[in-house]
Amino acid sequence: MKILLVGASGTLGQAVAATLGTHHQLIRAGRHGGDVQVDLTDDASVQALFAQVGTVDAVVATTGKLHFGPLGTMTPAQFNVGLQDKLLGQVRLTLAAQHHLTVGGSITLTSGIVSAQPIRDGANATAVNAALEGFVRGAACELLPRGLRINVVSPNVLVESLADYGAYFPGFEAVTAQRASLAYQRSVEGVQSGQVFNVW
């Protein structure tokens, strides 16, 4: 398959690239690096991405910023970070990607465990991840009759990210990026649609 991987330079993206890259042709996309560049917060940038890469068999997104902080001092602007970047960014990618997929093609997005297991200072993350999962369930109903699939992977905190995020996840059993990457392979190479693949 010809697969567009957005967020390929990140911790999770690198693991997904290693898993999928052994069997498929990867086009690595990032905000500042990779084979092609894209800013998922910008409509024109996403459109330019697909004008450059053309038709693909699968699109995978492993990217998105969130705001972590106490609800008591959170501002709408801070909450908007997650809405504009991780939520709307992946939605924007999906809306464009659907018109550049081969028949039988798929889209795989990324949410996270806090959609179902909230954490301290994580109201933005919980809202964004839950919204992504709802979007995928709804979008799958309209994509399936057109021969297209969409799923979302919900990983636990990554072992490789514990230094940065471990304090937010006390008592959580971290997973390796390599283990999480298998869920993306299942989404891309499998047959299911509208699914949340939990890697907890």
pLDDT at 113: 98
Q: Give the tens place of pLDDT for each residue, 14-69.
A: 999 999 999 999 999 999 999 999 999 999 999 999 999 999 999 999 999 999 99
The span from the CA of 66 to the CA of 68, in Å, is: 6
Q: What is the pTM of this model?
A: 0.97
Q: Give the tens place of pLDDT for each residue, 162-191.
A: 999 999 999 999 999 999 999 999 999 999
Q: Kindly list the distances between the CA atom of residue 96 and the CA atoms of 10, 18, 46, 53, 125, in Å, as whole numbers in the listed order.
A: 22, 25, 7, 12, 24
